[in-house]
Structure 1
Amino acid sequence: MMETLNILIPTDFSEVSSLAIEMAQVLERKIPIQIHMLHVMQVNDSDSDYLEGRSDAVLESKKLEALNKFEALKSRGAKFEAHIRVGKLTDQINLATAELGADLVLMGTKGSDGFMEMISGSEAQHVARYLQVPVLTIRPGTPMLDLKNILLVADFEQFGKGIQIETIKKLAKAFDSTIHLLQILTEGEEKYADEIEAQMKFFAEEHQLEKYETHLYRDRKVTDGVRNFNREAEMDLVCIRTNARKGINHLLFGSIAERLVNHCIKPLLTFQIKKQHA
């Protein structure tokens, strides 16, 4: 029996945040899942009334409102455990991920607008930087299909043996997917093509990938290369390592990331390098 995938979905109950539930339903076709939905009643350090407990009535009212919205979701057939927390959004997502043992965080996003602006903008940097699990974002209009083709974008040079891609492998096994290893070659890197392809094959062997293909794609910029390759190859899920060298190094933390996360019309999964314990 396949191991259950433990999923955390942060929500503000907007139409956009409900995209994560739709994506979870796609995953549920092939793999057992447990969904935890998290609503954070946001509090900043400057909100002394909240911090000093002088707004209990307001908090209770907001909590009741959130509980009612959770019940409405359940009445429409959604199955999940509900969690309500008070504090900073990123901090609470981090805490909940650790405490609930989440394997994956699912988030709907408009890109740079709405509630998830803080996730896909400056707050996303903190979420992805500190979370030790992959983050999967979905934009409106994203086709949510069975994950037959999974694109893994990285700089495979000196990747190290401690990188964990277990969630991606778990998804690939469930959907009988092909994992497409992609590295974008920008100007001046063509002469290393044979070496890079050898590194990609070594990566696949080290991580025991069962079905995979390697691709080298030439483009002016990493972002353009990912977008253009995906347009030609029609991937169902794009996976980006957030810790690597050269062009990928700041993918999630700079302008490249914002353009890709905000405009990639595919489910986009970002994940960190995790070191194996001795």
Structure 2
Amino acid sequence: MKSIIVPVDFSNQSEKALKVAASLAKEHKAELLVLHMLELSPSIMGESGYISQEQVVHLIKLGEKRFSDFLDKPYLKDVPVVPVIKHYKVFSEISEVAEKHKADLIVMGSHGADGLQEIFIGSNTERVVRTSDIPVLVIKGNEVDDFNPKNFVFACDFEKESIPALKRAKQMAELLGSKLHLVYINTPGDEFMSTNDAHKKISEFLNEAKVGMEVEIFNDYTVEKGVLNYSDNVSADLIGIPTHGRRGLSHFFMGSIGEDIANHSEAPVITFKI
């Protein structure tokens, strides 16, 4: 891991993400790109805007000063930090910064009434996940000083399109020194599979992926409950889910499933683009 991006908005949640990113940067001797997007719209920046250019410059300087103060943290000592300021809140720019600096990971703090709600739905995090080609690590409400996940759960539908996401999750687990737990959630209803059929599907998937790993079949009433309950059973420190990028969450996590997992999980969540 050579480069990590952390978008910050000076909130407590973004500082929690910054601490995790700093911990990872120290562990892997990586560069930390701390990105702040000023609350300036194109209309404000234009000549025909409703405030003067002098006021715009003043706002920019205030934002830069606050950003500088925010980065004056003891846990950033000995970490190579590159501050990046963008004048607009255009979340696709995060992907552009990632591509320019060949970043390996984006770390973001979650937001919501209690730090666990509405992470993806209409949020900044969702916008980043949908535009990012690299993994996005979402840090939840709990304070994390040293990010050192021991048990990493990766759940998917074991359709062939999820193979790239699994491979990236496996690489991430090896990088973090985590034990990777693969799980298939079997639910009642139209998607229910017999144990034999589920094993056959999983075996074909692993053969295609050329990955020799065990997969646990976990029965539950819904996929999201299954992922969360299984994660509790193995004391997961990290939960991985696949995404379709701009098309939103993958078929396995279509609708509210992925959102519910992210919203209700107490462990950090990391997404991998299919």
Q: Which bin holds the TM-score, normalised by the shorter protein?
A: 0.7 to 0.9
- 2:180 maps to what in 1? 179
* Deviation of 1:177 (Å): 2.9
- 1:40 maps to what in 2? 37
CA contact (8 A) 2:243 2:250 kept: yes
- 1:191 maps to what in 2? 193
Q: Structure 2: give runs of 5+ residues left out of the alignment.
A: none
Relative to structure 1, the CA distance from residue 62 to residue 145 in structure 2 (aligned partners, 3 Å threshold; closer, same or farther) is closer
CA distance in 2, matches of 1:132, 1:16: 23
CA distance in 2, matches of 1:44, 1:19: 27
1:15 and 2:12 correspond: yes
Spell out, residue by residue over 1:188-222, the C-alpha distance to the aligned partner (whole angstroms, 9 max, x if none).
44434333334434444554547x43111111211
* Deviation of 1:271 (Å): 1.6
CA distance in 2, matches of 1:259, 1:8: 25
Percent identity, please. Answer: 26
CA contact (8 A) 1:145 1:236 kept: no
CA contact (8 A) 2:151 2:178 kept: yes
Q: How many residues are matched?
A: 261
For residues 99-138 of structure 1, the aligned pairs below 5 Å read: 99-111=100-112, 120-122=120-122, 123-138=124-139
* Deviation of 1:259 (Å): 2.5
For residues 179-258 of structure 1, the aligned pairs below 5 Å read: 179-188=180-189, 189-207=191-209, 209=211, 212-243=213-244, 249=251, 251=253, 254-258=255-259
CA distance in 2, matches of 1:113, 1:51: 37
For residues 58-97 of structure 1, the aligned pairs below 5 Å read: 58-70=59-71, 72-73=72-73, 77=77, 79=79, 80-97=81-98
SS at match of 2:160: coil
Tell me the TM-score normalised to structure 1 length: 0.79
SS at match of 2:24: helix
CA distance in 2, matches of 1:243, 1:153: 15
Aligned-pair Cα RMSD in Å: 3.2
CA distance in 2, matches of 1:60, 1:156: 50
* Deviation of 1:15 (Å): 2.0
CA distance in 1, matches of 2:46, 2:264: 37
Spell out, residue by residue over 1:208-266, the C-alpha distance to the aligned partner (whole angstroms, 9 max, x if none).
547x431111112111111111111211210001239xx95273x74333322222110
CA distance in 2, matches of 1:136, 1:129: 13
Q: Structure 1: give runs of 5+ residues left out of the alignment.
A: 274-278
CA contact (8 A) 1:30 1:175 kept: no
Spell out, residue by residue over 1:94-134, the C-alpha distance to the aligned partner (whole angstroms, 9 max, x if none).
322222221111011134568x9896331433322221111
* Deviation of 1:178 (Å): 2.5
CA distance in 1, matches of 2:27, 2:199: 31
More deviation in 53-62 or 178-187?
A: 53-62
CA contact (8 A) 1:142 1:266 kept: no
Relative to structure 1, the CA distance from residue 158 to residue 204 in structure 2 (aligned partners, 3 Å threshold; closer, same or farther) is closer
Tell me the TM-score normalised to structure 2 length: 0.80
- 1:276 maps to what in 2? none
CA contact (8 A) 1:112 1:262 kept: no
Relative to structure 1, the CA distance from residue 140 to residue 14 in structure 2 (aligned partners, 3 Å threshold; closer, same or farther) is same
CA distance in 1, matches of 2:200, 2:2: 32
